[in-house]
Amino acid sequence: MSLSDIPGAVPDPGLVGSRQSAALAEPERKVTARWVTGLVLVNIGINAAFFGPINVFISQQAISIDAPSKEAIFSIVTSCGAAVSLVANPLFGALSDRTVSGFGRRAPWVLAGAILATAALLAMSGATTVALMLLFWCLVQLGANAAYAAITAAIPDRVPVPQRATVGGMAAMGQTVGILLGAVFGAVVSGNYMVGYWLCAAALALSVLPYLFHRNDPVLPLSARPPFQLKAFARGFWISPARHPDFAWAWLTRFLMNVGNQLTIVYLFFFLRDIIGHENPALGVLVLTGIYAVLLITTAVLAGPWSDRVGRRKPFVIASSVAIAMAGLIMAFFPVWPGALVGAAVLGIGFGAYQAVDFALLTQVLPQAADRGKDMGVINVAASLPQVFAPTLAFLSIQYFGGYVTLFSAAAVIGLLGAVFVVKIKGVA
């Protein structure tokens, strides 16, 4: 399979007429189970570092600092951290594209990012002011997004197209296990968020080791790296929707799907505490996250190979957007514990089906091989931006526009829009 066989891809002008290096060639050989295991573990560690704090520890820390302002503190900290990720993910992806280390292109950034995020999580455990929370959470986001940009780019680097939905489903499983692991940490530390941050830091540090030892990360020859020009480097982050419409529609679909998902879960701790009246909201988050995770993993593992067999991506996205909308409506109009249980189950099924085919669909619309890291970083902004948008919209919904009914109804409407825009993608079935 050549680069020209991939919908939406064009040959890299810098490599036309020359022999492409292994780092830039379109992968044809299936990846091994050992490599996939390393990929999954990195995703587990990164997502535990992200969502343990987001789902439980930042909320508990905000309550300890200023309980009446807990929602505002949570929204400020998480939104600013997510804003950092908007820049960090494509930036580190682009830098990894140009990395000529003997350690490979992606692995150095996985290692450096994990070290920075681990140190910042440990520092955050001792933060006693909003300013320190904000600073250290932004550093967590900076490091974790460096690692995430690199490990995400490794998928189109090493995984052939006919295997990508299967591997994408496994990566989604790793992300979900990481989210669940963060919820487990939240439940077992019994409100001691300091210990929770330490557990997240340990999980991240240990998770990257198997991948680093078995990374299968070909070295980029110095001769294959174009000269650095700041203007061209900065301009490269803009991918024209007119020239690459499939990439633009895929980006918008991912953004909407993640906004719908985030709006449903972003204030889950406060929803259980203040609306449902759960006696142990941290345990409630664990239970709901467990249901969500088990069904997401099951759906993703089944839907990924199914998508690879039939060669279709868009029908899975349409079905998942409907399920996300249903989950939002259930949470909006049945704000009781059984309603939350059903909503978590439906959300897990819907988002699992989406994540299984997400990577496959997106990697099939990347413009060119030499910029996979940068382009996947731009794509990852569609997952990071909802972390800025969703807490802000959630705060406004709760405080000014009708409360949780408005919040979850907005999640339903936005989720449905994902089905509308995915049909615009022409180069992928």
Does residue 9 or residue 200 have the better pLDDT?
200
Q: Is the pLDDT of residue 8 over 70?
A: no
Does residue 370 or residue 420 have the better pLDDT?
420
Q: Which residue has the tokens 């509308």?
A: 420
Q: Identify whether 362 is part of a domain.
A: yes
**pLDDT for the residue numbered 19:** 39
Summarised one tens digit per residue, pLDDT across range 71-80 is 889 889 988 9
The amino acid at 371: D
- CA 30-41-363 angle, 5° bins: 45
Q: Identify whether 226 is part of a domain.
A: no
Range of the domain at 257: 31-214+239-422
**pLDDT for the residue numbered 24:** 79
pLDDT band of 6, cuts 50, 70, 90: very low
Q: Give one DSSP letter per residue of 31-61, joined into a string.
A: PPHHHHHHHHHHHHHHHHHHHHIIIIIHHHH
Q: Give one DSSP letter per residue of 288-354, joined into a string.
A: HHHHHHHHHHHHHHHHHHHHHHHT--HHHHHHHHHHHHHHHHHHHH--SHHHHHHHHHHHHHHHHHH
pLDDT band of 5, cuts 50, 70, 90: very low
CATH number for position 190: 1.20.1250.20
Strands (E), 8-90: none
Q: Identify whether 22 is part of a domain.
A: no
Q: Is the pLDDT of residue 128 over 80?
A: yes
Total-model pTM: 0.77
Structural element, H or E, at residue 321:
helix 314-333
What share of the chain has pLDDT > 90, as a percent?
43
Structural element, H or E, at residue 394:
helix 372-400
Summarised one tens digit per residue, pLDDT across range 311-362 is 888 888 889 999 999 999 999 999 999 999 999 999 999 988 888 788 788 8
Number of domains making up the chain: 1
**pLDDT for the residue numbered 82:** 82
Q: Identify whether 9 is part of a domain.
A: no
Q: Identify whether 264 is part of a domain.
A: yes
Q: Is the pLDDT of residue 229 over 60?
A: yes
Q: Identify whether 37 is part of a domain.
A: yes
Q: Identify whether 35 is part of a domain.
A: yes
Q: Identify whether 126 is part of a domain.
A: yes
Cβ neighbors of 101 (< 8 A, separation 6 or more) are 107, 108, 219
